[in-house]
Structure 1
Amino acid sequence: MRDLYQSSPHPTLFGGDFNEILSADEKVGGALRDQRDMDAFREVLYVCSLRDLGYDGSWVTWERGNKQQGVVRERVDRYVACSRWCSWFDQARVFNLTKFRSDHVGIMLDTEAGVRKKREKQKRRFHFETCWLLAEGIEDVIKTTWSNSSHLNMPNKLLNIANDLTRWSKDAFENLGGKIEEAEEALKEAQKKASFQASFDACHKLEGLLDDLHDKNEAYWFLRSKVSEIKDGDRNAKYFHHKAAQRRSKNFI
């Protein structure tokens, strides 16, 4: 790490599992960490002028054990950066995500968190989902809304159809995205309180629920992609390549 930093003329960022903690308060349970190892880690950060970028969410990034007795928790995953990098990306924030299917917590660095928060306040545009065509009832929704909007002009008719389709899709597709967000928030809260056996049991139950919701969501997106493939063939190739290029160009880690 020291060699990489000293050999690079560019602003530097390191992130991931360092397999070490900065101080004893970043660990709960298990054997005590060797003080010399923690001192050596801090010394490297000091010599390289790297600072911990902190986090939003639970402090725990690694956990082992399924019961209250014998559980070990540590903060071994983090992002550290030099002052030049921090001045370039002054809106950056680190988010500790929800732990499930792994003993590590995913950590996400958003270099435009401050700007993104402002964008989220804007109203989302309506997008017609191709996979809706496979669901029963969509034609009835469109016909009924069109009939009930006969006294309106074309823009307002289309607006009513968009609103009704949005409401219908939430019921037809069970609002999987919202349910996943709710389950993740509940799991985060349970993980913060996981000092009692009841909390551990709640964590495992919520992890199972998340597994099920993600499986359903993956099936939904697979269906969505297959419908586009079947109905539109290669006509969408250029569009999807363009979207992929757009995503790669975004400054989002």
Structure 2
Amino acid sequence: MQRLMWRLGFRNGVAVDCEGLSGGLALWWRDNLQVTVRPWCQYFIDAEIQFEGKTCRFTGFYGEPRTELRKKSWDAIRFLRAQDNLPWLCVGDFNEAMFQSDQFGGNTRSFNQMEDFRVCLADCGLVDLGYTGYPYTWDNKRDGEDNIQVMLDRATCNDGFAEMFPDISVEHIVTEESDHVALVIRAMEMAPCSTHKGPRQFKWEEAWVKHLEYEYMVTTAWQAASNGDRGIATVWAKLEKVTRDMQQWGRNVFGSIRKQISKLKSQLEDAKRRSLVTGCSLEVRDIEGQLRDIFEKEEILYKQRSRVDWLAAGDQNTKYF
């Protein structure tokens, strides 16, 4: 877990081990945040976050997977609510649906189980933030009539958090490996607006040097700009030529990977929607396989945008908590 944290560029974090194939929680943050982690357990990691003069609270939650013990989840949320009145964002896999429409396939869910969940959220002043994207967040990955999909993961917040961040969005990102989707939550004080116009500023990518064609591309561009002169103006002209060629090369070589991934993710979401009607998951499995292949290529090209060097340094850092 620590290796993954460093690889993704986070320097601080806490984690709760999984039990077998279930559970497991991790909260990671960067140095620009002041985070105070409170006592945690197998159901949650709870933290107070300070940044830019504001204080709020974040809870990563994992609900009890066993139906007969599900009440422990709701008791845990009520315990957390009683701690303070800070603006609060509570996110995670609650292992329960709110409504029957949150499930596709399988047996009818227990009304009382769902009602207990809804009552718990209401008692704690937590409101579901909704979502965009694919409706179900968990898929048992089986085919035909055996396929079951349920919306188990969601983001909730109280009034204080909604007032602090009036512009909140939750996006479901379909993944090819996990049986859960990823939740991307954006919380902003106001909707962003772009005032930048004109050509995009050049940005050199350290990951470029990992590519086998990088040195050849730079050498070729530099030589193509040579005209025999040796003055400073010639040097600037060469640098401009190399810069333009780098931008074009980066878009063609690295940008094509991003476009392929984006296209395949869109196709995967469409295929999953079609499988709800047809009951056939072969197309879904095929696209998942294509995504796995291209992610392997992306890792070779990018090495997580050169954070492979961070990983090497992280292996020598024994401080985790």
- 115-124 vs 84-93, greater mean Cα deviation: 115-124
The TM-score normalised by the length of structure 1 is: 0.77
Q: Alignment partner of 1:7: what SS?
A: coil
8 Å Cα contact 2:218/2:242 also seen in 1: no
Q: Would you say 1:189 and 2:265 are equivalent positions?
A: no
Distance in 1 of aligned mates of 2:193 and 2:140:
34
For residue 257 of structure 2, what is the amino acid of its counterpart?
L
- Aligned position for 1:98: 174
Q: How far apart are residue 17 of structure 1 and its match?
A: 0.2
Give unpaired runs (5+ residues) of structure 1: 235-253
- The residue type paired with residue 221 of structure 2 is V
Report the Cα distance in structure 1 between the residues aligned to 2:143 and 2:197, rounded to whole angstroms. 41
285, 288, 294: which one aligns with 1:204? 285
Q: Which amino acid aligns with 2:89?
A: L
Residues 125 and 6 from structure 1, CA distance in 2 versus in 1: closer, same or farther, beyond 3 angstroms? same
Q: How far did 1:224 drift?
A: 6.5
Look up the equivalent residue of 2:283 and give its one-letter code. A
Greater strand fraction, Structure 1 or Structure 2: 2
**Does 1:163 find its partner at 2:244?**
yes
RMSD: 3.4
Does residue 118 of structure 2 align to residue 42 of structure 1? Answer: yes
Paired amino acid for 1:161: V
2:81 maps to amino acid: Y
Question: Is residue 2:95 matched to residue 1:14?
Answer: no
Q: Which of 42, 64, 72 pairs up with 2:140?
A: 64
C-alpha change, 1:78 and 1:227, in structure 2 (3 Å) is closer
* Alpha-carbon distance between aligned partners in 2 of 1:206 and 1:125, rounded to the nearest angstrom: 35
Deviation at 1:3, TM superposition (A): 1.4
User: How many Å apart are 1:159 and its aligned residue?
Assistant: 4.5
What's the counterpart of residue 224 of structure 2?
144
| SS state at 1:110 partner | strand
1:167-246 alignment runs, 5 A limit: 167-173=248-254, 175-195=256-276, 200-222=281-303, 225=306
Which structure has more relative contact order (CA 8 Å, sep 6+)? It is: 1
Distance 1:202 1:159, change over 3 A: farther
Superposed CA deviations along residues 55-85 of structure 1, whole A, max 9, x for unmatched, are: 1111110011331221101001000110111
1:53-132 residue pairs with structure 2 within 5 A? 53-112=129-188, 115-116=191-192, 118=194, 124-132=200-208
1:90-142 deviations in Å (ceiling 9; x for gaps): 11211100132111111111113964574899864322234544423331123
- Match of 2:144, SS state, is coil
Deviations 1:147-193 (A, max 9, x none): 5xx9x998776454323222223444572122111111111221222
Q: SS of the counterpart of 2:82? A: helix
1:217–1:29 Cα change, 3 Å = same
Range that drifts further, 82-91 or 198-207? 198-207
1:21 CA drift (Å): 0.6
Counterpart amino acid of residue 271 in structure 2 = A
Partner of 2:51 in structure 1?
none
Which runs of 5 or more residues in structure 2 are unaligned? 1-76, 314-321
Q: 1:205 Cα shift?
A: 1.1
CA distance in 1: counterparts of 2:161 and 2:114, whole angstroms = 24
Alpha-carbon contact 2:164-2:189 (below 8 Å) kept: no
Identical positions, percent: 25
One-letter amino acid of the structure 2 residue matched with residue 167 of structure 1: Q
TM-score by length of 2: 0.62
